[in-house]
Structure 1
Amino acid sequence: MKKLAGLFLFVATASAFADTGNELATGWEEYKKSENGLSANHYRIGHFSGYVIGVADASSYWCPPSKGLTQGQLHKIVGKYIDNNPQKLHMPAASVVMLAFKEAFPCPK
């Protein structure tokens, strides 16, 4: 029972971080700082990174190339989408990530 309670607490905490694109944008800003050699909040970077990779693994709404795509590229694809679409940051975080992937790698019709 203790393990189950701990898992619930972890899931509730993790989901609270990235409820909307606004929270993802905060993680993206920290990611960019780190990439530029500046002091950054690695906790927020880890949540941003984990969220992006988790949605990438779970989503079937985009058609990534069969090989060669890196996690760093996925982070930058989502980050570019965040930078270019601030009007969508009120949306659920998962939707923002999926829209970014779908825009970068649309599936053939």
Structure 2
Amino acid sequence: MSATVIGFCLALACTAAAAAFFDGYKLKEWFDAEARVENGNPQLADRADASYLIGYIAGVHDVFVEIAFCPPPTAKLGQLMGVVQKHLIANPEEWHKPAALISAEALKQAFPCK
């Protein structure tokens, strides 16, 4: 990866950190809602929150794929969500960080670019 691309990614990450709408706490809420929907016991807003989660992870993928992480072409959205959820649960000290950075870091660790 060229120094220009790395510099751009770092600048983007700093900008995202300053202007984040969602953090790790919100990601955790969305994952909890998604689990309740999957278990057949959703609360009032859970279906919407689960949909937000799906769209959010898909968006992080579409913005950062081949830049910050490189999943195989056979990777499915559910797998990407599982990677982010596993990272989120294992690192509660990061929940204050922007959700996009947490998600991108989780995917980067699981699917580093060569």
**Separation (CA, whole Å) in 2 of partners of 1:50 and 1:36:** 20
Identify the residue that residue 101 of structure 1 maps to in structure 2. Answer: 107
* Matched ranges for 1:1-109 at <5 A: 18-40=21-43, 41-59=46-64, 60-65=67-72, 67-108=73-114
Identify the residue that residue 12 of structure 1 maps to in structure 2. Answer: none
Count, aligned residues: 92
The one-letter code of the counterpart of 2:38 is: E
The one-letter code of the counterpart of 1:37 is: G
Once superposed, what is the RMSD of the aligned Cα atoms?
1.7
Unmatched segments (≥5 aa) in structure 1: 1-14
The one-letter code of the counterpart of 1:69 is: A
**% same residue:** 34
Normalising by structure 2, report the TM-score.
Answer: 0.73
